[in-house]
Structure 1
Amino acid sequence: METQDPGQRTAMEELLARGELTVRGRIREASNAVLLCDVAHEGVTAACVYKPVAGERPLWDFPDGNLARREVAAYLLSEATGWGLVPPTVLREGPYGEGMVQQWIEADEAAPEASLLALVEGEEAGEGWKAVGFAEVGEGRTALLVHADDPRLRRLAVLDAVINNGDRKGGHLLPGPGGGLYGIDHGVTFNTEDKLRTLLWGWAGEPLTDEALDVLHRLGGELADGSPLATRLAELITTAELAAVRQRVAQLLADGRHPAPSGSWPAIPWPPV
């Protein structure tokens, strides 16, 4: 499986990093400032998302003005796995100062695999689905929350465990063109404490796939001190956070299983979608 050299930019990364940003509007559903933009360079134009640091809402458990860098770090880890689960993402100056700029992915809602989450009656997930837990659906009723037993989601669950994603909601899953799947919104990641909150608990405690183990073995080597990946990550997250990434990779390999909720932190983000 080929992976990107962290020192080399793809064509999309070059466009995002060097192109002229034109703000088209604001995505108001987001808790932080998220601006929909066009980016243009040398006759090429693409849609993108720009999240300026100045628009970040302070959080009690993360340093102020640091979420954009974590989004870029998540992209670098995704590329290092070879799975391509995070859209191309760069850190750059924009109309409102430094921020994260990421390729806009138009979700393919018509794709057969677009339905990744569901609420079902009964206590069994059914074929092709993995159970997460029961959720209140109103009027005193509950339903079983399930996610698709999809290898792309399973890869994302492994990546989330590595980056310690504290906010994997349903709305952060984008089925893309050509059968791709992307995860977005990775600002609350890389904390040194266990913050994993996700809707992808369906594989909790199950053995990791051979593919995931191979990727984790390779990733452990690529995170060694002085490596291109480690050097780049050190510009984006703290020394302690980088050490915690290495420890999480090592722990996943030692356990050989998908992690389970720790019990010391809410396991599912709110709102879940």
Structure 2
Amino acid sequence: MTEPEDDDAPTVALFVTCLVDLFRPVVGFATIRLLERAGCRVVVPEVQTCCGQPAYNSGDRADTAAIAQQVIAAFEDYDYVVVPSGSCGGMISRHYPELFAHDPDWHGRAEALAAKTHELVSFLVDVRGMTGVEARFAGRVTYHDSCSGLRELSIKAQPRTLLASVDGLELTELEDAEVCCGFGGTFCVKYPDISNAMVTRKAEAVGRSGADTLLAGDLGCLMNMAGKLSRSGSPVAVRHVAEVLAGMADEPAIAAASDAAKPARKG
């Protein structure tokens, strides 16, 4: 737990998300830095696992409910819950109450947790009132509006508000920024051909933007787009928006191998 000087600082529980934990931990650390700068006390409950969205999207309500109960019990005692992901944030704040609509023992608890759960940039702007950050990032970026954040949580202006304050950053809007990248959680597994066609069009739009970096707020979408761009030989770097806002964009971009991981040249 971090301890800001303000005794009245809210205690925020960070829901790390599976993908951040397993594939991009820097996003979690960047989130903590941003929350601390917003005057929050940050706690990372160790018992957290998944939000249950993969099971939910596959129609497995029983396992989803079991996972959701674990999440509710782990997070309900904090002032806020913040998630660096619109999809996981939407799962907790929109679908948990629906999941327990006919369970009086859990419905109230699910609604209470939903009311204080926020996606990261939405929390910074809409709850903490931030209008800018102290960060520098030299280059032209474009931004993809992930489906869950945009359609379930109304996240559109918030990331752009904060990015406008980053020194050296030039934002160019992405053609069809609000169109799905084709990831969609289990959608890309169930319908790989359709998913590939969608991400191909998204990668082409990114190329036409002239940006050297692609940003978004959902790691699933970012990994999907980064993989396609990498396989296409695109030089565009892909990062979570939190990395840029926190001034933590020094690590290799998503799907880019670090120098240490690259095979040594022979001869």
Return the TM-score normalized by structure 2: 0.25
Of Structure 1 and Structure 2, the greater helix share is in 2
Of Structure 1 and Structure 2, the greater strand share is in 1
